[in-house]
Structure 1
Amino acid sequence: MGSGSSGVGQQSGRPDRTGQAEAFDAIGDRYDEAFPHKDGQLATGEWLIGSLPGGARVLDLGCGTGVPTARQLADAGLDVVGVDLSGGMVALARKNVPDALFHQLDIADVRPGGSPELGRFDAVVAFFSLLMLPRAEIPVALRTVHQLLSPGGLFVLSMVEADVDYFAIPFLGNTVRVSGFLRDDLRKVVEEAGFEIVAESSHSYAPAIADVPPEEQIFLRCRRNNG
């Protein structure tokens, strides 16, 4: 799995995912040790950098430790804002990428008019963060991304291909819950949320730690439809 954690708290009848944040607080920078090679993520970041003007605003949704994506984008001169549910991850991101701005935020609060008011973005990245949500909440999160983007804005995301819904797995000595879609189902969910998929790639990935199994990672490069 990729950058970091994302989730919603116990409000309006939503599940309490405090445990998700606590797991990533405990994992900390061991996460980057377990996932040292992120070729698909870096290549997608390079595509985004090449597609945006200098100084463009980018939201890193589920930023994790800030490595590699927030750092990659900030080093390229983009204006990066990162959010993550885990306070421990946000603290590491602030240390790793001092040129970016980071908030500890529930994805339910990352919306136009939310607090803090984040404004609109030229691009949003969500590397392996939406898989921390139950399947039913992923379309809601995608519509939020659509609202946060400027017209024609870019959206890149990655998921692990798996037919699971908020399934508990052991992860770096902790337990997290993850969701996934088969490839065609993921495309459908993304397109129904108002995005055009302009490119797609996949990578077979074997993490550098025994208790995390190999996975098939899907990367989608998308553009916000203006309808």
Structure 2
Amino acid sequence: MSFNGAVAFYSVFHIPREEHPELFRRVYDWLQPGGYLLCTLTGFGEEAYTEDDFFGVTMYWSNYGLEDYKEILTRVGFNILETTMIGHGYTEPHHVPTENHPLVLAQKPSAGRRTA
């Protein structure tokens, strides 16, 4: 099974960051040549931590910084097409109203092309 695109909004950084390279490798393998990955990441790295009351539930975070993510995606084989900053995505007031996340558009090369 393969896909033309994959999307991961505000989710990657909620799994252990040590698993992120393997996650992106799997997504790369699932995509058809020329397929796209669109995902929100984080601009700075943080060791694993939890927040006890994140909209009423305990939430886990673990992430690398944007430059590390770009390196991981490139090493896996993606071409980084665009990176821009977007808002936090909350629909109600939150304690970090100015939080922004990098939105990354990456593409698996077409058949016969590899970047790394």
TM-score (norm 1): 0.44
| Cα distance in structure 2, aligned partners of 1:146 and 1:139 | 10
Which of the pair is proportionally richer in helix? Answer: 1
Q: Which of the pair has more CA radius of gyration? A: 1
Question: How far off is 1:178 after superposition?
Answer: 0.9
- Specify whether residues 133 and 206 from structure 1 end up closer, same or farther in structure 2 by C-alpha distance, changes over 3 A only: closer
| Cα distance in structure 1, aligned partners of 2:44 and 2:60 | 13
1:194 aligns with one of 77, 91, 114? 77
Higher RCO, Cα 8 Å, sep 6+: 2
| Cα distance in structure 1, aligned partners of 2:87 and 2:8 | 19
Amino acid at match of 1:153: G
| Cα distance in structure 1, aligned partners of 2:24 and 2:83 | 17
1:176 correspondence with 2:87: no
Amino acid at match of 1:150: Q
Question: Please, which runs of 5 or more residues in structure 2 have no aligned partner?
Answer: none
Deviations along 1:88-141, one digit per CA (max 9) or x if unpaired, are: xxxxxxxxxxxxxxxxxxxxxxxxxxxxxxx10011111122111111100010
| Cα distance in structure 2, aligned partners of 1:205 and 1:133 | 18
Residue 108 of structure 2 is matched in structure 1 by 224
Q: CA RMSD in A?
A: 1.8
SS in 2 for 1:213: coil
2:39 aligns with one of 146, 157, 164? 157
- Specify whether residues 171 and 221 from structure 1 end up closer, same or farther in structure 2 by C-alpha distance, changes over 3 A only: same
Question: How far off is 1:162 after superposition?
Answer: 3.1
Which of the pair is proportionally richer in strand? Answer: 2
Aligned residue pairs total 108
The 5 Å alignment of 1:62-141 reads: 119-141=1-23
| Cα distance in structure 2, aligned partners of 1:181 and 1:221 | 17
- Specify whether residues 181 and 216 from structure 1 end up closer, same or farther in structure 2 by C-alpha distance, changes over 3 A only: farther
Amino acid at match of 2:28: H
Question: How far off is 1:204 after superposition?
Answer: 4.2
TM-score (norm 2): 0.81
SS in 1 for 2:93: coil
Question: How far off is 1:206 after superposition?
Answer: 7.5
